[in-house]
Amino acid sequence: MKNESLKRDILNGLMIVVGTIIMGIGFNLFLTPNNISSGGFSGLAAVIAFFLNKIQININPSIIYLILNIGLYIFAYKLVGKKFAIFALIGIVSFSVSMEVTSLFNFYVKDDLLVCSLYGGTLFGLGSGIVLKNNGSTGGCDMLATIVRSITIKLKTGQIIFICDSIVLLLSVLAYGANSLLYSLITVCLASEITDLVIDGSRGIKAYYIITNKKEEVSNKIFETIKRGATEIKSTGMYTHQDKSMILCLINKYRAPMLKKLVLEIDPEAFVFSTNINEVLGNGFYVPQQKKNEKKKKLSKINSQNSNKPIELQNEKVEDNSIDDATKNVEIENVENDCKNNENANTNNNIVSTPEDNLNNNKTKKTQKNKPKDI
């Protein structure tokens, strides 16, 4: 188990580095050359470097980004777990290095600001999603939100990040002008959507609530057609005060039209509504498929073991079974003959013998025959 967790941690660390490299490419090849802000601490570092450059102080945004995050990291180290702190440090350092290395590239795209904001936002969101999916962090507003949340509970994490990004975008207007604000907003919004897509995946889950008087027919059809489970929830109509059954079913969003069609075919008067689900955990959704695969593996192992047995042993078992069947048939015939003889012999005494008694008599006779004779 320790080796597996260690391998998983090493893989997570490598994926965090890959994600920060992608973020660095989007930052230096598409965003910074066109004065488009990426939001967060990376955008703040670019704005600070822009103002320092005006007073003839040339500092790379990667160094400013590292300084800003190291200060936050010292405060947040005690608030986060040890493993997360290590992954966060890897993310901060690797993103700073990737910002420094990719700034040395001579290739960058200019002139078409819309294309640059789309490419930059896509790469930035893709890299950020990879980092977050592997339990990492690049510091910035996320770490700032952790510190603020430890001091006060009035502000939510999303609100803190929104305030931080808004301040950075306003500062970018002062640095780059009002024309860059629209493209910066496109970049930040697109990066956020791509990040969510990478973390949650493209398989959107929808929860369907079905109020119907034909619960058995609907649920059985769901089992057979969509291959999904369903849960019955007892409900009461507040207008009619009648007890009804509400079926809850979680399905992939691409199978939603199939579900609605089969429900309306069975019960045209059914009441159906749905909600979007961000996450599904635990038994009941993906686990049954895993159990099916485990059963298939067990059956394949059993079949392989049976196929590897020697043919001679299998033939011996068949012969033994045939011999046993033959002896059983002979014993049954003997018992039937004994029963007939006993019935004729015992009619005068009104004694009725059973097959069990005859079997016992045969056994006693055999034992008497096998006894040694007296000398």
Q: What is the 3-state secondary structure of 151-166? A: HCCCCCHHHHHHHHHH
Written as one string, the DSSP assignment of 79-127 is TS-HHHHHHHHHHHHHHHHHHHHHTT-S----S-HHHHHHHHHHHHHHH
Query: What phi and psi values does residue 199 have, to the nearest 5 degrees?
Result: -75, -50
Beta pairing partners, 250: 207
pLDDT of residue 340: 53
- Pairing of β 205-212 and β 271-277: antiparallel
Q: Which amino acid is at 78?
A: K
B/e letters for 308-333, b = 16+ CB within 10 Å, e = fewer, are: eeeeeeeeeeeeeeeeeeeeeeeeee
pLDDT of residue 42: 92
Relative orientation angle of helices 40-54 and 157-176, to the nearest 10 degrees: 30
d(CA 63, CA 77) in angstroms, rounded, equals 20
pLDDT of residue 119: 92
- List per-block mean pLDDT (blocks of 10 residues) for the chain, which spans 375 residues: 80 92 92 89 92 90 91 78 83 92 79 88 91 84 76 70 87 89 92 83 79 90 85 86 88 82 90 83 54 55 55 42 46 53 48 48 48 42
Q: C-alpha distances in angstroms, 140 versus 41, 144, 148?
A: 5, 6, 13
Residue with tokens 């609605």: 260
pLDDT of residue 94: 93
CB-CB contact of 19 with 128 (8 Å): yes
Query: What phi and psi values does residue 274 have, to the nearest 5 degrees?
Result: -140, 160
Is pTM beyond 0.75 here? no
CB-CB contact of 81 with 9 (8 Å): no
Contacts of 93 (CB under 8 A, 6+ apart): 66
Residue 192 corresponds to which tokens in the numbers above? 């956020």
Euclidean distance between the first and final Cα of the chain, in Å?
76
